[in-house]
């Protein structure tokens, strides 16, 4: 089952995804895609580590998410990816965005029923920034989120810590 969890910054989307995984009572792999680029983000990563289950395995990846998912589904009944927005940023940085997105969508199309929880930022609710690079990223992430939502069995939007069901199969 593929679940997409969307939300804004500090909305509670990561906590909600961890709660969903805990309810399955299955061993889970946590795939982290963000890199600590400043002190504030290092602190955010530290807090995420504190909030995760102590026995949850963690794998840190950048643009290699499709390959990591292929390996993870062989060894784990449940996988959490946090987050697609940081992964997309890494893909854009490395110049392989279109190729990696297609590889990722191919992995999702072939997903075999194991639990996969994908966390992503919902950036389309605010004003469009003036910078063309930021606008391009927001549009690309919006398109990715739409494509993932189409494949997902369930989708939620988390706002103020409250999950809203967008799709439930």
Q: Are 17 and 52 a contacting pair, CB within 8 Å?
A: no
Phi and psi of 47, rounded to 5°? -65, -40
Task: Give per-residue pLDDT as tens, 119-139.
Answer: 999 998 888 888 999 999 999
Q: How far apart are CA 25 and CA 53, in angstroms?
A: 11
Q: Name the active-site residue from 1, 12, 44, 48.
A: 48
Strands (E), 68-122: 78-82, 115-121
Cα dihedral sign for 120, 137, 144, 27?
negative
Task: Give per-residue pLDDT as tens, 23-77.
Answer: 998 999 999 997 766 677 667 667 767 777 667 888 889 899 999 999 999 999 9
The proportion of the chain whose per-residue pLDDT surpasses 70, expressed as a percent, equals: 92
Q: How far apart are CA 99 and CA 27, in angstroms?
A: 30
> What is the rounded average pLDDT of the residues 128-153?
94
Strands (E), the chain: 2-7, 28-32, 57-60, 78-82, 115-121, 154-159, 162-168
Residue 45 pLDDT: 66
Q: How far apart are CA 130 and CA 7, in angstroms?
A: 22
CA-atom Rg of the chain in angstroms:
15
Other CB atoms within a 10 A radius of the CB of residue 89 amount to 20
> Catalytic residue at 48?
yes
Q: Work out the angle at residue 41's Cα, subtended by the Cα atoms of residues 145 and 76, and round it to the nearest 5 degrees.
A: 55
Other CB atoms within a 10 A radius of the CB of residue 50 amount to 8
Task: Give per-residue pLDDT as tens, 97-114.
Answer: 999 999 999 999 999 889
Q: What is the pTM of this model?
A: 0.92
Residue 107 pLDDT: 98
Question: Please, what are the domains in the chain?
Answer: 2-168 (3.40.50.300)
Greater model confidence, 165 or 124:
165
Q: How far apart are CA 169 and CA 103, in angstroms?
A: 24
């Amino acid at each position: 089952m593929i679940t997409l969890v969307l939300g804004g910054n500090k909305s509670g989307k990561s906590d909600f995804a961890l709660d969903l995984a805990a309810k399955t009572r299955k061993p889970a792999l946590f795939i982290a895609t963000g890199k600590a680029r400043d002190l504030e983000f290092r602190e955010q990563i530290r807090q995420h580590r504190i909030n995760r289950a102590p026995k949850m395995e963690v794998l840190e990846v950048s643009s290699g998410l499709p390959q990591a998912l292929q390996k993870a589904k062989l060894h784990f009944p449940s996988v959490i990816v946090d987050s697609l927005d940081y992964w997309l940023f890494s893909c854009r940085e490395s110049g392989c965005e279109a190729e990696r997105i297609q590889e990722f969508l191919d992995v999702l199309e072939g997903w075999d029923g194991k639990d996969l929880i994908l966390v992503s930022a919902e950036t389309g609710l605010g004003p469009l920034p003036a910078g063309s690079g930021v606008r391009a990223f927001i549009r690309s992430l919006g398109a990715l989120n739409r494509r993932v939502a189409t494949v997902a069995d369930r989708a939620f939007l988390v706002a103020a810590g409250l999950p809203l069901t967008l799709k439930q199969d």
